[in-house]
Chain A
């Protein structure tokens, strides 16, 4: 059983590094959800199924979804202020 935990710990470190090195928050949301899946596995192996369930729901689904929605909204606002600078100065 010990070696499975060891392998999962190495996996957690590897996927965590991948998340940190992923460029762009919208792509990071996807790798972050993968990272949450690996963490779920680790919690389950350390006999904490309750924590694993929370991690599965929050980490793989809710947090990436919120990040995606926020990133899209910010990108749209940036595109608008970038493209619409002249318009904005003109009287409405």
Chain B
């Protein structure tokens, strides 16, 4: 396809999108208005299921199927990245170099922030049904927190802190638990991903039905998936060389 034809096809597509967007914008409610039918329906359903954080109620209860698909996409992405980043036939693995210069200030920041970040991540996962957060957000915070050890300049410590094999099992366990919980709804004859646990007292830690277990399973899968993904990148960067490079 020549450049001219490509530009013409692009122009037709862009024009179509522009017309549709313009038509949609003319019928949109004004910014910051008070009329939100979808919000009212979602908040009502969340309150009936004793879930103060409506977003978590949407993610893990009302539209849990979307989260299930997202979770499977995450697992597939991590799997594909790890498969792509494994050592190729002309590459070899060497032990990572230790040492290197790190500013004492970065070392201090890393060590101080590591426990704080891990506690914050756990808090975000476990209170995701009550306050902003949930499995995905908390999982990302936990995974980022673990890598603060690398900021302190110690790749060896990071490797001790995250035995990658265990995190691979953890990712499978988290995603598997999510699927099993979803199927448990079918077994209890209330539907796929149905809210099968008692709702509990509004605002209590153990409340909101299946939102907390779904969120915890997601948190487990996300923290482990992120760690496995970043570990593959770190290994490629710090340990894998093309054959012969180390000899030179």
Q: Which residues of B contact A53 (CB under 8 A)?
A: 124, 132-133, 137, 140-141
Q: Which residues of B contact A49 (CB under 8 A)?
A: 132
Assess the A92–B132 pair: CB atoms within 8 A: no
Flag whether B32 is at the interface (Cβ < 8 A): yes
Q: Which residues of B contact A69 (CB under 8 A)?
A: 233-234, 236-237
* CB-contact partner of A50 in B32, B132, B229, B230, under 8 A: B132
Assess the B141–A80 pair: CB atoms within 8 A: no
* Per-residue interface assignment for chain B, residues 112 to 147, with 1 indicating a CB less than 8 Å from any chain A CB and 0 otherwise: 000000000000100000001110110011011001
Assess the A54–B136 pair: CB atoms within 8 A: yes
Q: Which residues of B contact A80 (CB under 8 A)?
A: 242, 245
* Complex CA distance for A72 and B144, rounded to whole angstroms: 20
Flag whether A61 is at the interface (Cβ < 8 A): yes
* Complex CA distance for A54 and B124, rounded to whole angstroms: 11
* Complex CA distance for A26 and B136, rounded to whole angstroms: 27
* Per-residue interface assignment for chain B, residues 207 to 241, with 1 indicating a CB less than 8 Å from any chain A CB and 0 otherwise: 00000000000000000001001100110110000
Smallest CB separation, A27 vs chain B (Å): 18
Given contacts A57-B140, A92-B244, contact A50 B133 (CB under 8 A): yes
Flag whether B55 is at the interface (Cβ < 8 A): yes
Given contacts A62-B143, A80-B242, contact A73 B236 (CB under 8 A): yes
**Residue of A whose beta carbon sits closest to that of B124:** A53
Q: Which residues of A contact B137 (CB under 8 A)?
A: 50, 53-54, 57
Report, as a range, how many residues of chain B touch the other chain: 20 to 34
Q: Which residues of A contact B136 (CB under 8 A)?
A: 54
Q: Which residues of B contact A62 (CB under 8 A)?
A: 140, 143-144, 226, 230
* Complex CA distance for A92 and B245, rounded to whole angstroms: 13
* CB-contact partner of B134 in A50, A70, A77, A87, under 8 A: A50
Smallest CB separation, B226 vs chain A (Å): 7
Flag whether A10 is at the interface (Cβ < 8 A): no
Assess the A66–B140 pair: CB atoms within 8 A: no
* Per-residue interface assignment for chain A, residues 37 to 65, with 1 indicating a CB less than 8 Å from any chain B CB and 0 otherwise: 00000000000111011100110011001
**Residue of A whose beta carbon sits closest to that of B131:** A49
* Per-residue interface assignment for chain B, residues 34 to 60, with 1 indicating a CB less than 8 Å from any chain A CB and 0 otherwise: 000000000000000000010110000
* CB-contact partner of A65 in B141, B147, B236, under 8 A: B147
Flag whether A21 is at the interface (Cβ < 8 A): no
**Residue of A whose beta carbon sits closest to that of B55:** A50
Flag whether A2 is at the interface (Cβ < 8 A): yes
* Complex CA distance for A2 and B168, rounded to whole angstroms: 46
Q: Which residues of A contact B124 (CB under 8 A)?
A: 53
Q: Which residues of A contact B245 (CB under 8 A)?
A: 80
* CB-contact partner of B144 in A2, A61, A66, under 8 A: A61
Interface residues, chain B, with chain A CB atoms under 8 Å away: 32, 53, 55-56, 124, 132-134, 136-137, 140-141, 143-144, 147, 226, 229-230, 233-234, 236-237, 242, 244-245
A-B residue pairs, 5 tightest by C-beta: A57-B140, A49-B132, A53-B137, A69-B233, A50-B55
What are 5 pairs between A and B in contact, CB < 8 Å?
Answer: A48-B55, A50-B53, A50-B133, A57-B143, A73-B236
